[in-house]
Structure 1
Amino acid sequence: KHAVALAEVVDRVPDPTEHGHAWYRLQLKASRGFPGLHVGGSYLLHERFTDWTSPKLLDELRALDEEPAPCSLARLVTDPGRYRGTPPDVDVLHAPGLALGKQHGMTSSQLAAFDGVLRHTLQLVWGPPGTGKTWFLAMTVLSMLEASRQAGRPCRVVVTAFTHAAIDNLLRRIRKLQKERAVLQEKLAIGKCVRSEDPGAGIQAVPKNEAFPWLCTNERAVLGATVWRLLGTVPPGDASLTDLVVVDEASQVKVAEAALAVRRIRTGGRLVLAGDHRQLPPIVQGTYPDPEPGEPLLHRSIFEAVRAADPEGACSATLLENFRMCKELCRFPAETLYHPDYRPANDDIANQRLAFDATKTDDPFVARALDPSNPLVVVIIDGVRATAENVFEAELAGRLGLALREQAGLPDGDDGDRRFWSDHLFVVTPHHVQRRAVVRALQGGRDWQVPPFVDTVDKMQGQECAAVIVSYGVSDLELALREKEFIYSLERLNVAITRAQKKCVVFLPRPLLEPDLEAFADDDVAEGIAFMQRLPAAADDVIVVNPSITGAG
């Protein structure tokens, strides 16, 4: 086996002799098996990390500074109302575009957002969980293409996002909707800028060096690309020929990275920023102070930065109809995070219930926790002091998972297990050690042919299923305070509880609900604590368990 250590180069001193060597002073962070350095030993110093992106990004920002016109990015994040203009084609596209949206089933809030896209060069689309943001964006793109076709105008669309997965998801939805509804009355030109990967059936693989010629060749087309592939592929400004740039998951795209997309819109072209800043934010290395009053919010996402600069929401539209959650699960995020009118899209969604018969189990805890008439249940754990692994809580979560599998109506074997963990249950936990504890509890009661889907919330964003179990595990207050930005993340808890369609069971150790005052010193953490503390009051049922009193729970 090879022992590995991460080495930071602290200093480099060239060898004064003619050999051309150099002396390096290293600071090591070694793995457990690394024996340390010794005189006479041979070591391979391998380049572990290279920052390929920052120099390119800085060059792009400098180019923005040197342009004679006012900087579009600076205006966007400081005064979005001034950035927002009227497209020159609004008179010919607005009426037919809106008619297409109505014809193909946009909801009232979706139509309001689409109206903003048609009328303005900037539109933020706030899409809370389950509101069909991807469907809306796909229908927006297709309706824009068809309205442009009817007017005899070009319409070149660039779709970008933080991840390839988000880009692929939107491209697939555009293709699927076009196949089902034929919104665009001509062949859809849709491609993705790739190196060697396969973008999927029906989506053309466009090599990076051919992406811009491909856009030029197709008067009406959709090209998916990361911001980094746009750089050096599509020229900036009017030369880009881009009529519409859609940034999906814009709440995860950092401000500076968004500049690469914003700069590739022609004069009078449209920019759509779609996201939800109440879900997982972008990963930012380091800690940055909050900006001074009047200064832009540069260390967060482009979505959050533009919203912060538009406090009245003049440039924003919120999608309100929820196509995922029953009315009880929808109520809590509507009251605490989103909008009072955030609601199920129809009665069938509002009244959906978990398919579970509590009379068929002899476990009173399982019967109560999985009672279909109580969609949101909070289980408060008393009398347990655990760090990142809470075995008692994991066993309770395991009992719920096993009971749901027993009544899922699915066959034994690979296919049944796979469908169960895809459509019926997610188990969310913040720590990998608690994940292992829950998996052990599940595997102790069943011979699974497919591994249980128990993971962190990062793996769940954008997905949904019938039931969600949230197992925090941590009941040691010192650990919770050391990781307070993680444990008390409002965004993480919001993502976890809004994946469920019909049932959500949240396990909360008592100490998490009663932190010391020092935890409230950070405003973001305090907001997360308040969100967590309101959860029991909003629940349809609260179950308090204590192993010293209830035994097996």
Structure 2
Amino acid sequence: TLRLRDWLLDRRADPGGGPAPVASPGAAAARDRDDAGAGAPPSPAHVLAEALRAPVVDIPRPERTADQQAVAMVAAALEYHRREVLPFWWEHFRRVGAPVEDWEHDGEMVVLDPDAVEVLDDWHRPARSWTRRYAALVDVPGSFKLVASDRAVFALWDAPLPPEAQRPAGTDRGYAKTTRIEHIEPVDGRCRVTVVETLPARIDELAAEHRRFPAALSADAGLEGKAMAASIFAIAQRHVGADGALAPHPGLDLLARRRPRLVGGGPLPDGSGDVGAAIVEAVRRLDRSYLAVQGPPGTGKSTTGARAIAELVRGGWKVGVVAQAHRTVEGFLDKVVEQRIDPALVLKRAAGGGDHRGTPATDTDLLAASSAPVDAGGPGVLIGGTAWDFVSDKRVPAGSLDLLVIDEAGQFSVADALAVSRAAPRLLLLGDPQQLSQVSQALHPEPVDVAALSWVADGHETLPPELGYFLGRTYRMRPELTDVVSRLAYDGRLAPDPCTAERSLAGVAPGVRTVLVDHHGNRGSSEEEVAAVLALVDDLVGRAWTDPHDRARPGTRPLEAGDVVVVAPFNAQVNRLAEALAAAGYHDGEGGRGAVAVGTVDRFQGREAPVVIVSMTASSADASSRGAGFLLSRHRLNVAISRAQHTAVLVHAPGIGDFVPPTPEGLVRLGAFLGVSQAGRGR
């Protein structure tokens, strides 16, 4: 598809091919940011990608050998990060020049009314840079995606522009990456947004323009991928031959979906008994290869992995743990420390605003820990970080670790997995391809944007046994709920531990329960479902909840508001639910024990609660604000209902499925959702 697009554009540019497309200012600006743009010589990565692609490009994908497909994947991965960022810049420059009325419906923007801005802290200079804080009440669309964060977002300015703003050609507006959103709070159907603005240090004195406020805030592009691309380039140069031969390498084994290569050969150790011991033995025997472990909800994937890593660190191994988010990494490090590992052996850069039980480290600390030899008979070290830590020679040199663990590898792209595989001769993938995956922004010639575990699973709901281990026993969900989730996402292979049947909620049947709420015309929010959710919480809170295996509070006690999680697909519905629950005294905006937790499903991956309520919001799936594919996603539905220990309540309109999907995949998706809904009828 990508090559066809490029060919068509080339034909339109020919003298006989009709008029060439007229480039917008935003398109021109985005092309200017692309190193492979017109007039620039091809990059070394592009040259290498074309050389690797040439022998396999004309072979249909189903007819390629595993090694040929792996070579095609390496070629595509070489320019993956460049392609991923281009759609953002096209959209960013379109936004800068777009009419204000377009901004009001853009979920990645906040439109500010200068007359309604409240200055909280006027310009002051606490360090080298001038800073101010202000807040404003704003309207947000149902697809609103911006969140409070330490990361900067773009401020968009109308003329006259302040000195730090950049102005794209063809527009009087400009943009500057000088603001961040400190806090977002729902207020009467709107949002109060608190903003921190910081000027670059090079601007010594305030200009008159800085008494004004931006016209809008807009999402940023995220971290650049140059270091990731450089790592992939080095791997391709050193380990892929001109004839397409693949040298033994964990990242290349992953791309070729080879069976894990073990010292001494043979199959993986039997995991039917002590799967943790089998994983440790398999990892120890890996010969420049990878091992995959799939852990469905509640199966103890992180605990199993942490025990294995703790044993290896005690045995003198240098291990790295990488994930998409700092919080994920820090949670895994904490679990390893719980296995009685000295926190001084657990290092992570003090980044991301999080905290963990290990030791905060500088780049120098990481470099020393990863590079220094381990004392004979002494313990090793555990280093946590995001992908950028494990592609940096200033932190973790290539091949300096014994093992790299990719946590939540169901959300970690194949391209990123290849990039970080430089750090160690062994890879351990932990996660679940049936939960939320990494979101790709671009089209790629090969599926290098697919999550690493999804690539290994190759369309199977559960991991093929020759490639790794499937953890098939959940300690979270009641048997009635496990049965629904197992049929939805795990080929019926997920089973409940007997201890789950000992949980009970007085007067409430365990499993999935469906509540139909009549409404029409709702796309991104539903007052009818807000009222239904509030009634459910009213009915549930105070009932007798029994969990003899709760480590913090075993036994029977009244169900509290903090024991209920409410999930909605759209931020507009989340905001309305939060307001209604707060007004009823069930939500405090902080997510404490005494408050109902409300959010999109992304917020709750890895969490659990006695009861989960899912508000589907839209009156009809095909008319929802993000389409039926998003609303009825099996992965999102799986994550939502599998947070529950006892009961998952599905709230939706009777007509949500009254449409005919245009694709076979859409029919399967609709059928899966209706199957879950039907399982909860009459309960």
Q: TM-score interval w.r.t. the shorter chain?
A: 0.7 to 0.9
1:137 partnered with 2:288: no
In the alignment of these two chains, the number of paired residues is 462
Quote the residue 1:334 is aligned against. 486
Give the equivalent residue in structure 2 for 1:27: 97
Number of the residue aligned with 2:290: 122
Matched residue, 1:178? 340
* Greater Cα shift, 45-54 or 125-134: 45-54
CA-CA distance at 1:437 after TM superposition: 3.4
CA distance in 1, matches of 2:278, 2:250: 25
Counterpart among 428, 445, 451 of residue 301 in structure 1:
451
Cα gap change, 1:409/1:130 in structure 2, threshold over 3 Å: closer, same or farther?
Answer: closer
Counterpart among 212, 224, 234 of residue 53 in structure 1:
224
Distance 2:668 2:261 in 1: 35
Q: In the TM superposition, what is the alpha-carbon distance from 1:383 to its structure 2 partner? A: 5.5
Give 1:276 shift: 0.6
Question: Could you tell me how far apart the structure 1 residues matched to 2:600 and 2:363 are?
Answer: 34
Question: Contact 2:480 / 2:511 at 8 angstroms: preserved in 1?
Answer: yes
Q: Which residue of 2 aligns with 1:546?
A: none
Counterpart of 1:64 in structure 2 is 235
Aligned to 2:411: 252
In structure 1, the residue corresponding to 2:650 is in which secondary structure?
strand
Return the letter of the residue paired with 1:246: V
Q: Which residue of structure 2 lines up, in the alignment, with residue 208 of structure 1?
A: 363
The answer to whether the aligner puts 1:432 opposite 2:600 as a matched pair is: no
Instruction: Kindly state the Cα deviation for residue 131 of structure 1 after the two structures are TM-superposed.
Output: 0.3
Residues 260 and 209 of structure 1: is their aligned pair in 2 closer, same or farther, counting only changes over 3 Å?
A: farther
Q: Residues 302-332 of structure 1: CA distance to partner in whole angstroms, max 9, x if unpaired?
A: 1212222998541121001111111001011
* 1:322 and 2:474 matched: yes
Of 404, 416, 441, 2:540 maps to 404
Once the two structures are superposed, the pairs formed by residues 129-278 of structure 1 within 5 Å of their partners are 129-146=297-314, 148=315, 154-178=316-340, 189-195=345-351, 199-201=355-357, 203-217=358-372, 219=374, 220-232=380-392, 233-234=394-395, 237-238=398-399, 240=400, 242-265=401-424, 269-278=425-434
- Given the superposition, is the C-alpha separation of residues 141 and 421 from structure 1 closer, same or farther in structure 2, using an over 3 Å criterion? farther
Match of 2:529 in 1: 393
TM-superposed CA distance for 1:397, in Å, is 1.1
User: Once the 2 structures are TM-superposed, how far is the Cα of residue 509 of structure 1 from its aligned partner?
Assistant: 1.4
Instruction: Provide the rounded CA distance (Å) in 2 between the counterparts of 1:287 and 1:511.
Output: 34
Cα distance 1:27–1:133, how it changes in 2: closer, same or farther (>3 A)?
same
User: 1:531 is aligned with what amino acid?
Assistant: A
Distance 1:35 1:171, change over 3 A: closer
* Alignment of 1:475 onto 2:619: yes
SS at match of 1:531: helix
Specify the code of the residue in structure 2 equivalent to 1:160.
V
Deviations 1:309-359 (A, max 9, x none): 9985411210011111110010112123214342122x22134212x3x4x
Q: Deviations over 1:381-411 (max 9, x none)?
A: 345442222222221110111222233689x
Which residue identity is paired with 1:442?
Answer: L
3-state SS in 2 of match to 1:470: strand
Give the match for residue 21 of structure 1: none
Residue 107 and residue 349 in structure 1: after superposition, are their counterparts in 2 closer, same or farther (change >3 A)? farther
Deviation at 1:435, TM superposition (A): 2.2
Partner SS state of residue 492, structure 1:
helix
> Deviations 1:112-164 (Å, cap 9, x if unpaired)?
44443344342100010000011001101122234x3xxxxx41111111111
Q: Deviation of residue 527 (structure 1)? A: 3.1
Aligned to 2:635: 491
| Higher helix residue share | 1
Structure 2 SS opposite 1:340: coil
Question: For 2:454, what is the secondary structure of its paired residue?
Answer: helix
Aligned residue among 479, 484, 496 for 1:344: 496
| One-letter code aligned to 1:473 | T
Question: Structure 1, unaligned stretches of length 5 or more?
Answer: 1-6, 15-23, 149-153, 180-185, 292-296, 359-370, 411-418, 544-553
Question: Which gives a bigger RCO, structure 1 or 2 (Cα 8 Å, sep 6+)?
Answer: 1
Distance 2:651 2:612 in 1: 11
* 2:636 match: secondary structure: helix
Relative to 1, partners in 2 of residues 1:396 and 1:306: Cα closer, same or farther, differing over 3 Å? Answer: same
Moved more, 397-406 or 64-73: 64-73
Q: Distance in 2 between matches of 1:517 and 1:340?
A: 26
Separation of aligned partners in 2, 1:271 and 1:313: 17
TM-score (norm 1): 0.74
After superposition, the Cα gap between the structure-2 partners of 1:500 and 1:309, relative to the gap in structure 1 and judged at 3 Å, is closer
CA distance in 1 between counterparts of 2:238 and 2:436 reads 34
Q: After superposition, give the CA deviation of every residue in 1:518-541 in whole Å (9 maximum; x if it has no partner).
A: 3xx162x333212101113333x4
Using structure 2 for the length normalisation, give the TM-score. Answer: 0.61
2:667 pairs, out of 507, 526, 533, with 526
**1:381 has 2:558 as partner:** no
* Structure 1 residues 190 and 471: CA distance shift in structure 2, 3 A: same
- Contact 1:161–1:167 (Cα < 8 Å) also in 2: yes
Look up the equivalent residue of 2:537 and give its one-letter code.
G
In structure 1, how many angstroms separate the alpha carbons of the residues matched to 2:386 and 2:293? 20
Matches of 1:447 and 1:127 in 2, distance apart?
33
Q: CA deviation at 1:498?
A: 0.0
Residue of 649, 658, 682 corresponding to 1:505: 649
The Cα of 1:53 is off from its aligned counterpart by: 2.3
Match status 1:75 vs 2:219? no
Distance (whole Å) between structure 2 residues aligned to residue 491 and residue 228 of structure 1: 27
* TM-aligned CA distance change 1:210 to 1:504, over 3 Å: same
Contact 1:109–1:318 at 8 Å: present in 2 too? no
Q: Which amino acid aligns with 2:233?
A: R
Does structure 1 conserve the Cα–Cα contact (< 8 Å) formed by 2:587 and 2:597?
Answer: no
Q: Give 1:166 shift.
A: 1.0
What is the CA–CA distance in structure 1 between the aligned matches of 2:368 and 2:351, rounded to whole Å? 16
- Give the root-mean-square deviation of aligned CA atoms: 3.7
Q: Percent identity?
A: 21
1:224 partner SS:
strand
SS in 1 for 2:98: strand
Q: Secondary structure at the match of 1:378?
A: strand
When residues 438 and 193 of structure 1 are mapped into structure 2, their CA distance, relative to the original with a 3 A threshold, is closer
Contact 2:405 2:427 in 1 (8 A): yes
Match of 2:261 among 63, 67, 85: 85
Alpha carbons of structure 1 residues 38 and 54: separation in structure 2 relative to 1, 3 Å: closer
Q: 1:339 to 1:481 in 2, by over 3 A?
A: same
What is the CA-CA distance between 1:260 and the residue it aligns to?
Answer: 2.7
Which sections of structure 2, spanning at least 5 residues, go unmatched?
1-24, 33-92, 105-110, 115-155, 166-173, 178-219, 241-245, 375-379, 547-558, 590-594
Report which stretch shifted further, 225-234 or 476-485.
476-485
Q: State the one-letter code of the partner of 1:170.
A: F
Q: Does the C-alpha gap of structure 1 residues 287 and 406 become closer, same or farther in structure 2, counting only changes over 3 Å?
A: farther
